[in-house]
Every structure is written in C-alpha cells, then in structure tokens.
Amino acid sequence: MLKSIFVATLFFNLVVTANAVANPLALFIEQCLQYQPNLVQDDLVTFQSVEQQAVEFEKQTLALNNLNDRIQYYRPFVIDNQSKQGLLWCQLHLADELYALTAAPSTQSLINKLQHAALPYNQLGEHLASIKQMQWALIEKSKLHSAQASIHLALSQQDFTMQFNQQDCVLNNGPKSESKTNDNDINNNANIDISIAKYLIKQPNEHCRKQAWLAYQTRSRDQQTPALELIHQLHQQYATQQAYDNTAQSELSRYGLNPQLLQQFLTNQTTNLDIAPWNIAHVLSGISKSSKMKMITSNEFLQQIFASLKPLGLKFELITLASSTTNKQSSSDAEQHNPLTDMQAIRVWHQQRLLGDIFTYPQDKLKSRLNVDGQLIKQAVIGHQFGQYALSFPRQLTRLQQQQKLIYALSQAIVSLAQSGQFYFLSNRVQNLDTHAISTKWLVHYINQQLDLPLLSARHQLVAQYQQQLWVFRAKVALTFYQYKGNFKGTDKDDWLTNNQPLSAAFEQSFGQQWPNATDAIYSYQAIANEGINHYLPLWQTALTQLIIAEVPAKISPRDIFDLLVINETYLPLNDRLERLIGPPIDTHSLIRRFKHAGTTQE
C-alpha cells in the first residue's frame, strides 16, 4: 500500500516537473511533494532554553503549515483532474510528514518540557500533545481517507433516473426549454439536486414526493455501505485503543462532553417545524423570495462595515494592486478616491499593530453565479509572518443574503488575522475551531447591530430554520452511529436496525412526520464520514455565541469583548475568557442548562 503511494507520487512528480515552468500551480505541487521539514535533535540543542527551542520548532515547521493552508486556498480554483490529484497527493504527503514530525523523539522531548513552562509555551505543548494523540498510523489513515473519498464519489454521482411503481407519480414533461439541463448546473455538480428539487416543487401529491425523497436519500447505499462500515470499524478500534467504550465517548471527551450530555443539548436545540423534508420545497415555492433592499455597491457596503468597526480599534487601509504605482488611502476617504474596482488589498490594523492584508477580487458581471467567497492564504504568526486572506464578491449587492454573506466572510477574515500568536498551532482556525467560530459569529452580530440591516424575508427565515433542524437531526444520527459498537452485517445488523425507532422519533420531533427506516439517513450526507460525531459543533458554537450576547454585563463594552474574545493578547484559554465575559459556571453541563434558560435555541 505504502509502496504504491510512493510510486504514484513519484510518477505525478515527474509529470508536474515537465509543466512546472508554464504552470505556477504545478510548480507549487512539485515543491510541496519535495518538501521535508528539517527538524532533528540538533535543531533543538539542549543548551537552549525551552522558550528558544519552541521558537526554533516554529521556524522549522512554519513552511509545512503554510503549504497546508495554500492547498486549501488553491482547491476551489482547480478544475482539471490532474491538478486535483496533485493537490490530494500533496495533502497526503504533508500529513505523512506531520505524522513523522509528531512521532520524532525530539518533538516528544519538547512537549515534555513545554508542559511545565509558562503561557503561551505550555499551551503549545498541550496542542502538540493533542495532535500527537490524534495521529493515526499511516496504514489506518490511508484506509480512512480512501473510504471517505469513496463516499464522496458515491454521493456525487449524477447518473440516475427516478422510476415510479405508480403512474400517478410520474410528472408530464413541460416545455422543451424547461426540460433542458442548464450547462451551469452541470459545471456546479448541482443538476441532481435541482432535478429532485424541481420534482418536489411541481409534484402536488405528497405521497409521491415522500417516495421520491426517501429514494434519493438511499440512492448510493450499495456503493457507500462497505466504506461506511470500514470508517466505523477504524474509529471504533481507535476508541478501544484509547480505553473508551465507543467512538462517541472518545471524541466527545476532548470537549468535556459525553453522549448523554450531547443528547441533552441536541434535544434542547430541537424545534418542530411540522414541515417534512419532502414538503419543504413545495411550501417554499409559495412564499415570496425577495427581501426589500436598495442595491448598493460592494465598495459602499464595505465602507459602512469599516466605519462600524472603528469603535473596536480597527482601521482599514486600501492599497490598489492593479496599477504600477501603489496608491494608499485611509478608510475615511478611500470610498471617494480609491473604490474597490480592481484587485486590491485591504490592510487591517488594530490600534497600532498591523494584522495583515485581505486581498479583494470583485467579480465580473458576466459571471454566471455571483457569490461571496473567502479563503485564508497565510496564517498570521507574530514575529514570523503577517496574515493574508482572499475575499471575492460581486461588484453590486442586489440581495440581502449577499450582504449577510459579505459580513460573514469579512468577519472570518478579520478574526483569522486578529487571532495571531507566537505559534501557528495557537492561531490557526483548524486547530482552534471553537474560538474562531465563536469570535466570528459574535463579530457578525456586532456588525449587524451597527448597520441595522432589515430582517431576512419569511422565506429565507424558514430555510434557515429547516437547515438548522436538519443539522440537529443529522447530529443525532451521527451520535447514534458512533455510539453503536457492533457490525452492520449478519445478526449484528438487526441490532443496528433497532435504532430505527428512536431515530424516527427524532425525525418526527423536528419535522412532524415519521421516517420508519431512519437509519438510512447515514447514507444521505458526507459529514457523517468526514466530521463524524463532531457534526454537532456548529450548533454548540452558535448557542455559546448567543449566550455571550445575552449574558455579557452592560459594563463590558464591545471593544472589551473584542479585545478579550478575538485579540486575547494574554493567551487566556477559552474557558477563562468565557468566565470573564458571562461568569461561572462554565462547565459543559452548566452551559447546556444556561443555553436552555437563556433561550439560545437557534432561530
């Protein structure tokens, strides 16, 4: 297995080398595949202090972390299969290098020393110890990634037809123009969803809609079953090795939770919409889509956001990159003299400290789909590098959802740049999911308050409520799946199918109707394989953000909240920051109780 990976990597390396001169992406892939961190015992010499050894470790590993971030940046832009494969091999190569790095004796020696050091060095030691504990052996990791890829391939298949036993469920073809598949739908791999959605909208018979929706959920069950069974088996083996009874216990223990507490939290987050998934499209088709708003340029809207953030100590400077002469304007007069009409950098300052740059890419009107996208380019690390972020958006904002997306994407960018520390692992979003998500959601709330934007339409509010309840239900399914310890074949399969009744009840609690074979839900979404039991995390992060918004005393200003929650110059752990903001108790059991009494079920 490992030998075949090496051969494939070597073959791909030869291919990209031939094209590297003409293709910058191919050059990046080649450099990535050749990268090896130079961290040996001599680099962490014994006469250095533990703080000096930590800084040396950061220098030696920063390139590896930057390459990982750059892979995520490039991935949305890659279209051809060769480049996609190259990025995949690059990601696997870096994962192997990280595994070797964490297993090195010098790293373990550093971890032991750091855990007895002062802030933030002890936090770095804790992060490295956690990363090492979560590392899987190369063979098991390879099996896991292959199984996840198989499920992704199965769910993305587009070659299927809907066949009905009842002629009454067959819709007559409409005009030819309606029956044609849009090329853009094919390019966005969305023609399956659009086809089933059109059927659910146009079919007046609820029984037919239900049968079509249920069949769609299990459209790739046969292809997925072996991969899902393998994923479950690998996670269960790992949990057993860690002395836990099941995967759910093992994973949740990292967050101070257990399956019972998570079930309680999900129950509190459950609201009965009384609209089944097979009826939601039909219901939405009868509700007005529009939210009243005046069209506004992205430049004007960004200037409004910049002004709203000034009380937090943030300052924005626009730098034009398209012209040969660098043109700088402060945010106060940038709108008049330096509009965002070309690719520009938004230089972000907090008080007198430079946080980094946000590169903006206004989209052409000719693009088929105008959307807001953001992606980290480089993580800010104090003393080593400034942060870089990319932000793409339409030149004109014609819908309220576009405004909301731009607020969220800009908030993510600011938080990514602002949450910089001395060490990459203490700053990066992937390593600090809760802190980053809660900070972003709080900042979005603050900006919305300052701008006083109109509410989303009733249609979009219903969509949000439906998506939230679908998330809650799927989190319950993941919890059940990863609590289960048996197999999915033979007599053990009957044990798994006994979960149909409780999962059907959970489905009914959110959507008002039963799903008798609700265990089939494991075949309907990718997250059960990739995120696993942690699919609940965005729900938890939103509830915690809403608790902060509801219970922070009035004497604590928004600037104080920003400095403590986002900037965090003193490197306080998240629990310490929460205690300062909302007061004790902040253990998970108490937080769940406080969520409920503070009314933080998501809207």
Confidence grade of residue 342 (pLDDT, cut at 50, 70, 90): low
CA 397 vs. chain centroid, Å, equals: 24
pLDDT for 322: 55
Q: Out of 136-150, 154-168, 256-270, 461-475, pick the least confident.
A: 154-168
Q: How many C-beta atoms surround the C-beta of residue 275 within 10 A?
A: 19
pLDDT tens digits for 281-301?
Answer: 999 988 877 666 789 999 999
369 against 1, higher pLDDT: 369
Q: pLDDT averaged over the chain?
A: 86
pLDDT for 287: 87
In whole angstroms, give the CA distance from residue 133 to residue 123.
15
pLDDT beyond 90 at 430: no
pTM for the full predicted model: 0.88
491 against 593, higher pLDDT: 593
Q: Which of 494, 348, 341, 510 is nearest to 419 (CA)?
A: 348
Q: How many C-beta atoms surround the C-beta of residue 439 within 10 A?
A: 30
CA 340 vs. chain centroid, Å, equals: 28
| 3-state class (DSSP) for residue 60 | helix
Report DSSP state, residue 556.
S
End-to-end CA, the chain: 48
In whole angstroms, give the CA distance from residue 296 to residue 456.
17
pLDDT tens digits for 487-514?
Answer: 998 888 889 999 999 999 999 999 999 9
pLDDT beyond 70 at 374: yes
pLDDT beyond 90 at 475: yes
- Rounded percentage of the chain residues whose pLDDT exceeds 70: 85
| 433-442 mean pLDDT | 96
Whether the CB-CB separation of 600 and 269 falls below 8 Å is answered with no
pLDDT for 341: 52
pLDDT for 23: 77
pLDDT for 343: 74
pLDDT for 39: 62
| 130-154 mean pLDDT | 91
pLDDT for 162: 76
pLDDT beyond 50 at 444: yes
Q: Which residues pair with 327 in a beta bridge?
A: 320
pLDDT for 42: 52
Report DSSP state, residue 382.
T
| 249-255 mean pLDDT | 95
Q: Read out DSSP for 458-518?
A: HHHHHHHHHHHHHHHHHHHHHHHHHH--S-SSHHHHHHHHTTHHHHHHHHHHHHSS--TTG
Q: Out of 37-46, 217-226, 535-544, pick the least confident.
A: 37-46
pLDDT for 489: 84
525: tokens are 């979404």
Most confident of 170-174, 188-192, 202-206: 202-206
Confidence grade of residue 167 (pLDDT, cut at 50, 70, 90): confident
pLDDT for 454: 86
| 358-383 mean pLDDT | 82
pLDDT for 371: 87
Cα torsion for 563, 435, 349, 562, to the nearest 10°? -30
In whole angstroms, give the CA distance from residue 275 to residue 22.
54
| 83-93 mean pLDDT | 91
309 against 25, higher pLDDT: 309
SS3 content of the chain, % helix, strand, coil (to 5): 60, 10, 30
pLDDT for 17: 42
In whole angstroms, give the CA distance from residue 301 to residue 443.
16
Q: How many C-beta atoms surround the C-beta of residue 566 within 10 A?
A: 24
